[in-house]
Structure 1
């Protein structure tokens, strides 16, 4: 069986490619395990940015429905297996959020249900202008409750509810307008645009980006006073980095910084 997740590292950028086109890159048991292992490995690596892309007719079609139907054969109707599946999927999504490196989704085609959740979970996303996005589980009687968590933290409440209750899709342009993706580009420019964004991120001081990404998510759901206290501490920690001292000195001296990281 061919590898369903490919990894390529170059110039500080780790690229993960979902490579199971026969299942529309579904988040099968095998894919979730492969993603979890790859993200854990990247977290401990010297990569500075991550690109998540896919092969085939879809970016990701969400959970593998054939595997889910097979789970129903258990004496409990699959309840324990379903709970375990969603816990493992949540584990992958939280790994992306907690990863020190920013993760950029490169979305070339359809992203549905938990596949849309995957896009929403990534720190940034670039889409081909003919890509589409939906949380369409309601169309088969399964409300996308877990994908809703990431979706509702990206797009306005009423837009999210319309998507969830109608099973309708957003075009790439609508996804940009809603805040689900950063921008939509012609399909033949997608890889280059995503790579350019990743290279820009990778060129920054890794320690500053790591501290900043952690603070970004930590402060989002805090009251204002707690958010400011948390981000104050993050900036103090950032200022303690020797390379931050060098970066500020270089700016004042009008020269490029000589960073060690």
Structure 2
């Protein structure tokens, strides 16, 4: 059996690839487990380069999942957003946000074909050569290079511009949260970009907007409406790290309701709000540990 230690050395990287490829914590966990099962069946020394071998294995698993998931996501009720990664906030001195795992970027990646998404993530984020990616997707290296180029152009056109520094991002999100909690409509308008877009992912499980909400005034009214039933005696709102950037977690201890808000900030205003409310996508969160 192949050595467990060699697999554990690669586990974090494998999970990072799987999450970026699928946008799902559950799928990433399952993909890593599948990769381990395949690795464990190998005789000792069968893989000359464990890193390259396991990268190919996890990528093939996730590529197959992407292909089969397309139909399910096309039938999904309302906008489909990735399952958020929520932790206690990171070091304040860290100036750069993790753009490759941002909710906004992962949402754009959903609009790519499985081949384009795989090529872009593996090559641009994890520096996998095109020849190795070609083995994953069953294409030629030139075809994969072209797919990555198409994906790159689309991301440049649709993804937010390079993220602002963490301190500026946090300041804007704090102003948004304060305005929402105070019912300060004018304060909300000041912090929202005129062309802001709000996406709500309820998956048909909870009440959420099934179409994106566009424009500062509509978004401000929608945010106020969404949190009108906030009860501070049993509910709480906190700034938390959401996919590598300051975001907001709202939870109700009595009902188990939770909502995670990720933000894109540009020039001192919020350009995007991505709200995940589908309980299936938040079941991996330990709300007590995050409180």
Provide the TM-score with structure 1 as the length reference: 0.29
Which protein has greater RCO, CA pairs closer than 8 Å, 6+ apart?
Answer: 2
Provide the TM-score with structure 2 as the length reference: 0.27
